[in-house]
């Protein structure tokens, strides 16, 4: 779909990870699931930080990965016949567990009980809907054949919430986001609000934001690009009772240009953006 892209340059730490484990995310990762942990009074996470948990599925050489984790870890705990490797990383502890063939979990959440819970639930993989009640409730809203999806709570009162979301979501809501490929890339983000009025306000804010963004693009040189026009024509915001729905269609030509063209300088988000590197340097 995208044609031949330029080779990817790996940072030194990541290249070392590849050499030691034989695992390359771009090539060997099949599936990934992420959980975002916001700070609360109970979990001890600093107010301006986020913590993350991940589950990876892919073509993994378990023996090489165990040797690599063993060298990095300062502590190895055996829990229900699964080894949990504790690795110091940027003032936090990253815990990694190999759950099975091609299945790995990782978390930098402060409480080790979290990754133990992941291990316990991994034994119930035969029951795909046996997870948390929150996920069971909203998973049915994910469109069939989605290549990627996310379900998460948003709380504007939480200081760790990204500012670009708090601008649109001024009250708590649940977001269900997904991506599908149907000849073009189809994006969908559905916000479940407390009532119809909140959904109406959210729809109006989203429409205003898109209109401003569209006007800025039209005034730039890209305003005459037919692929850019097709993208903006495919943007739509709708309301269905207490739901506000944003849909977008990315034509293949537009996506190819977005990936192949040089990226502009990224904005400074260092105050909030957490460190996501899961391949720490050897100590």
Sequential pLDDT tens for the chain (283 residues): 555 556 677 888 889 999 999 999 989 999 999 999 988 878 878 887 899 999 999 999 988 999 999 999 999 999 988 999 999 998 899 999 999 888 999 999 999 999 999 998 887 754 555 567 788 788 889 887 788 899 988 888 777 677 667 778 888 999 999 998 887 889 999 999 999 999 999 999 999 888 887 777 666 655 567 777 777 878 899 999 999 999 998 887 777 777 765 544 444 544 444 444 444 444 3
pTM surpassing 0.85? no
- The full DSSP string for the chain is ---PPPPPPPPHHHHHHHHHH---HHHHEEEEEEEEE---TTT---TT--EEEEEEEE---HHHHHHHHHHH-SEEEEETTEEEEEEEETTEEEEEEEEETTEEEEE--S-THHHHHHHHHHTTTT-TT-S-HHHHHHGGGSPTT-SEEEEEEE-TTSTTS-HHHHTT--S-EEEEEEEEESSSEEEEEEEE-SSHHHHHHHHHHHHHHHHHHHHHHHHSGGGG-HHHHHHHHT-EEEEETTEEEEEEEE-HHHHHHHHHSPPPPPP--TTTPPP---SPPP-
């Amino acid at each position: 779909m995208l044609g031949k892209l330029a080779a990817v340059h790996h940072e030194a730490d990541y290249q070392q990870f590849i050499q030691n484990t034989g695992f390359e995310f771009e090539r060997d990762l099949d599936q990934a699931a992420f959980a975002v942990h916001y700070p609360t009074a109970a979990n001890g996470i600093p107010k301006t930080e986020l913590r993350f948990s991940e589950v990876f599925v892919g073509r993994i050489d378990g023996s090489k990965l165990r040797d690599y984790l063993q060298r990095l870890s300062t502590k190895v705990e055996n829990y229900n016949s699964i080894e949990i490797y504790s690795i110091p990383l940027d003032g936090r502890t990253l815990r990694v567990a190999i759950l099975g063939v091609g299945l790995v979990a990782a978390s930098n959440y402060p409480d080790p009980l979290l990754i133990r819970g992941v291990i316990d639930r991994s034994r119930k993989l035969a029951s795909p809907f046996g997870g948390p009640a929150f996920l069971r409730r909203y998973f049915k809203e994910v469109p069939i054949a989605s290549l990627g999806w996310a379900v998460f709570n948003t709380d504007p009162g939480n200081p760790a919430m990204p500012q670009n979301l708090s601008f649109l979501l001024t009250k708590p809501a649940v977001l269900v986001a997904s991506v599908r490929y149907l000849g073009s890339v189809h994006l969908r983000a559905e916000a479940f609000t407390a009532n119809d009025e909140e959904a109406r306000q959210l729809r109006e804010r989203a429409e205003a934001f898109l209109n401003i963004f569209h006007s800025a693009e039209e005034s730039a040189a890209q305003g005459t690009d037919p692929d850019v026009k097709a993208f903006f024509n495919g943007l739509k915001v709708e309301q269905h009772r207490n739901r506000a729905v944003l849909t977008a269609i990315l034509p293949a030509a537009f996506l190819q240009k977005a990936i192949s063209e040089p990226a502009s300088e990224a904005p400074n988000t260092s105050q909030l953006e957490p460190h996501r590197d899961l391949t720490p340097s050897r100590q």
